[in-house]
């Protein structure tokens, strides 16, 4: 296979995964006309339109879908062999990495991760993208983000994951709460008023567990994110149920305390997610290894 032929395959795979000529051009660091030219050449070689342009992006034909698996596997093998001869030098790199986190992830993980990155790679930039579980699979596949940390179900595709740690839920409340002392009963929990964060999946899990017991808690405040919610908990008699590690971090200033939930609730895994883009494997491997090292002992 000639160098030109290999570039055609790279272009095909990039269009297939990004569903966009502009997205493929950005990934390959070439112009959009170059991508269009390569696509037209490949169409001539294969005698197939390969992609149809729609309002939802470049939709692959049946033949293109069949070809993708073989092309992706072959390209991964080639790129892995090439990347093994390259090295990523974090101390000299000015690369930018994008990491998807929830707002809770930002609050808890960044103080652990950023110092480690800056220690090893002082000129590397980090951009945080607000987690969107529904779009994360596409983001990882297209390279819109380099990695993600959280608890996300059914990403699918070739995305990979590594469990960083197992987490549980606890209750955060003011140290001066008027009705709850050193221990909290189920009756205390149900009688109290609660704050819930709308997108937080743990909220639904709590409701499901209580519902199975025929109980329901009183939701006095619903907010879209965790920002500034700590001040509300510290100054009221509201309760907040959230991951234990984060609850303990919030309570460190002494205004709040953490109590175990008075009913059993399943724990969950906090995972690192990434997509194996072989063409960027040395840099991506360093980034994922650094995340794993910084957060596995969180």
What is the SS3 assignment for 133-174? CCCHHHHHHHCCCCEEEECCCCCCCCCEEEEEEEECEEEEEE
pLDDT band at 244; cut points 50, 70, 90: very high
Secondary structure letter of residue 178 according to DSSP: S
- Write down the pLDDT at residue 205: 84
Instruction: Look at 57-66, 209-218, 276-285 and tell me which has the smallest mean pLDDT.
Output: 276-285
Give dist(CA 201, CA 242) in Å, integer: 10
- Write down the pLDDT at residue 3: 47
Angle between helices 103-120 and 281-295 (to 10 degrees): 110
Q: Are 90 and 121 in contact (CB under 8 A)?
A: yes
What is the pTM for the complete model shown? 0.71
Q: Are 106 and 128 in contact (CB under 8 A)?
A: yes
Cα 133–64–276 angle (5° rounding)?
Answer: 45
Round the average pLDDT of the chain to a whole number and report it.
Answer: 88
Residue ranges, CATH 3.40.190.10, the chain = 96-166+269-295, 169-265
Cα 167–176–225 angle (5° rounding)?
Answer: 45
Q: Out of 1.10.150.300, 2.60.40.10, 3.40.710.10, 1.10.10.10, select the CATH number for domain 3-83.
A: 1.10.10.10
Superfamily of domain 96-166+269-295: Periplasmic binding protein-like II (3.40.190.10)
Sheet strand arrangement including 193-197 = 218-223, 193-197, 239-243, 169-174, 256-260
81 pLDDT exceeds 80? no
Mean pLDDT of 22-50: 90
Mean pLDDT of 177-199: 92
Give dist(CA 230, CA 247) in Å, integer: 10
- Write down the pLDDT at residue 78: 78
Mean pLDDT of 204-214: 89
Superfamily of domain 169-265: Periplasmic binding protein-like II (3.40.190.10)
Residue 273 belongs to what H/E stretch?
A: strand 268-274
């Amino acid at each position: 296979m000639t160098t030109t032929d290999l570039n055609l395959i790279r272009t095909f795979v990039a269009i297939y995964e990004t569903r966009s000529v502009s997205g493929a051009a950005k990934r390959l660091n070439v112009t959009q006309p170059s991508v269009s030219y390569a696509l037209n050449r490949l169409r001539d070689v294969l005698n197939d339109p390969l992609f149809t342009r729609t309002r939802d992006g470049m939709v692959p034909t049946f033949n293109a879908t069949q070809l993708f698996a073989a092309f992706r596997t072959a390209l991964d093998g080639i790129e892995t062999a090439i990347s093994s001869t390259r090295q990523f030098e974090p101390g000299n790199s000015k690369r930018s990495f994008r990491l998807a986190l929830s707002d809770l992830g930002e609050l808890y993980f960044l103080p652990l991760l950023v110092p480690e990155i800056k220690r090893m790679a002082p000129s590397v930039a980090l951009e945080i993208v607000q987690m969107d579980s529904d779009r994360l699979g596409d983001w990882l596949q297209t390279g819109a983000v380099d990695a993600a940390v959280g608890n996300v179900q059914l990403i699918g595709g070739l995305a990979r994951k590594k469990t960083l740690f197992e987490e549980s839920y606890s209750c955060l409340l003011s140290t001066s709460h008027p009705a709850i002392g050193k221990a909290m009963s189920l009756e205390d929990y149900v009688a109290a008023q609660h704050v819930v964060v709308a997108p937080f999946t743990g909220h639904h899990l709590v409701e499901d567990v209580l519902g199975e017991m025929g109980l329901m808690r009183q939701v006095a405040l619903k907010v879209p994110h965790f920002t500034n919610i700590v001040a509300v908990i510290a100054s009221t008699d509201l309760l907040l149920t959230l991951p234990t590690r984060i609850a303990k971090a919030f309570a460190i200033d002494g205004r709040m305390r953490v109590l175990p939930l008075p009913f059993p609730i399943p724990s969950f895994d906090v995972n690192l997610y990434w997509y194996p883009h072989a063409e960027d494997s040395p840099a991506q491997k360093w980034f994922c290894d650094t995340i794993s090292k910084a957060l596995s002992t969180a």
